[in-house]
Amino acid sequence: MSAPHFVIAGAGIGGLTMALSLARRGIAATVVEKRTGFGETGAGLQVTSNSGRVLDALDLALPLKRISVTSHGLMIRRWADGSQVLEMPSSPEHMPTPFRMMKRNDLHTVLLDAARAMPNIRLMVGRSVDEVSRNADGVTIGLTARDGVGGTLSALGLIGADGLWSRVRDLTGDASPPVFTGYEAWRAVAPARAGDKPRVTLHMGSGRHAVHYPVAGGKEINIVVVRQAKEAREGWSRDGDLSILTEHLAGASQPLRELTGAAEGWQVWSLFDRKPAAMAKGRVALLGDAFPRPGRLARHRGCGSTRPPARRDARSRGRCRRAHGLRRLCRRPRPTRRPRAGGKSEQRPQLPYGLAAQHRPRFRAEAAGAGRPAQSLWLAL
């Protein structure tokens, strides 16, 4: 494929979405995938309305409707007894773009089919980016292949969508390795249950965290359980030992234990973080897991999860701490936020894992006594 065009490293969800976005604007793209076949690991993901608008703009609304479930809100329950803590309903009929829940491989298939239908997208498998050199016209990218036949590509720029262990990020001069967070995510799917409302359900307790939501057009339920772990394993997922998960869920509510008991084929991912990096350096840019996400415990949500602007976050959290004497409970802010386009970003303190669930009843009672909505306190946490 002749220039002008871009080379994208990685044919996952981020890489294919970027290729489609460029191609629909008349800019050719070559997507380089080191695996010999296409596919996406993981179970489910949540796609917010903001991200959904991007996919809809790529004319994917109809195929997404066939594979996804529209969320009707969020339900938060206590870990031990399953009692309701907070319900945040939503009305999909009033939303121009729905909050969608789907399986990762279903979304990947939709994106791959759309990319194959575009004449200005080229897909190359079994090759990976090895080096990049910059010149007056763009970049020259050196490739390696399993069969030993590499080659080079010339392009206007290189976009790294090659995951957490990004080779493209290394080539920008940032060779800092991913760091194990001390947590791992257990993922599986279970058969859907009749009568369940299509929404995200979160179970929280001290050192406990689980989330589940319907996927596959409502036929299955995606389940994620996050637990502490002493050791990490690099690379892709591994089979989980069911006895470990059973012990972790021993103190959980009966409905949660029944749901997880109906799931099969548990896969485990060790959760890693990387230091913040520049989103772009010259003609080389990063996206997806190659570029840091805001916080390890948000990883269960999948792609496209967004938060309110950082300044509003910081102000609301500060008011909450001053009003309720929680400053001592907050961890020191970590430098996870990078400046947003068009505005300065502030650091956001974080409560220790599970602490919000322990103290939420008091927050709600105090909010009612002060005439303040309890939901505002939850959002501030």
Of 97-106, 301-310, 349-358, minimum mean pLDDT range: 349-358
Q: Token digits for 35?
A: 């695996």
CATH of the domain at 87: 3.30.9.30
The CA distance from 268 to 270, in Å, is 7
CATH of the domain at 42: 3.50.50.60
Q: Is residue 342 part of a domain?
A: yes
Residue type, 259: L
Give me the number of domains the chain comprises.
3
DSSP 8-state secondary structure symbol assigned to residue 136: T
Task: Specify whether 168 is located in the same domain as 215.
Answer: no
Q: Is residue 318 part of a domain?
A: yes
Q: What is the percent of the chain where pLDDT is above 70? A: 73
17-53: per-residue pLDDT in tens?
999 999 999 999 999 999 887 665 667 999 999 999 9
Predicted local confidence at residue 175, as pLDDT: 81
Answer yes or no: are the C-beta atoms of 49 and 97 closer than 8 Å: yes
Task: Specify whether 127 is located in the same domain as 45.
Answer: yes
Q: Token digits for 110?
A: 């939709």
Q: Token digits for 299?
A: 């990883």
Domain interval for residue 255: 72-103+184-273
Cα angle 291, 336, 7; round to 5: 10
Average confidence (pLDDT) over 244-264: 95
Q: Is residue 11 part of a domain?
A: yes
Q: Is residue 297 part of a domain?
A: no
278-306: per-residue pLDDT in tens?
888 889 999 988 776 544 444 444 545 44
Does pTM surpass 0.75? yes
